[in-house]
Structure 1
Amino acid sequence: MKIRVQSIHFNADKKLLDFIQRKVDKLDQFFDQIISGEVYLKLENVDDEANKISEIKLIVPGGTLFAKEQCKT
């Protein structure tokens, strides 16, 4: 599966990118028709503890799946 990762307001290191790829590859176990995906990693408002946001958008036949999570780490 083709995955594009964008990190916003910081530079993602290779270790983080490899971790993301391993986790996304596991999605094929549940749905093998995923065409492509985009992962967005954002660092917002440094004053707030829960300032890390991750989003994933998966392109599948007939639609798009999207998930978003915000937390401290």
Structure 2
Amino acid sequence: MPAIVGAVKVISIGASSVFNIGDVFMITPTSTAKTFSGAGSFNTGDGLRVINNQSATNTQDSDVVDQPVVDLA
């Protein structure tokens, strides 16, 4: 179903990003990334109080491929 979209201002798009307005059949990524971080790393906001007495991040990854990327073009 078509949509009516007003003004759009794009400041920045990453190298492997996808920007779409309107109908789309399929959007596929061209790259993947994995992020490891400790407890409370991605908390955002005002007045946070994070108490991590013991924090350990397990970075062992036994599987070889987490998200396969296939070029369908």
Range class of TM-score, shorter chain: under 0.3
Alignment TM-score, normalising by the size of structure 1: 0.21
**Which is strand-richer, 1 or 2?**
1
Alignment TM-score, normalising by the size of structure 2: 0.21
From the CA coordinates, give the structure whose radius of gyration is larger.
2
**Which is helix-richer, 1 or 2?**
1
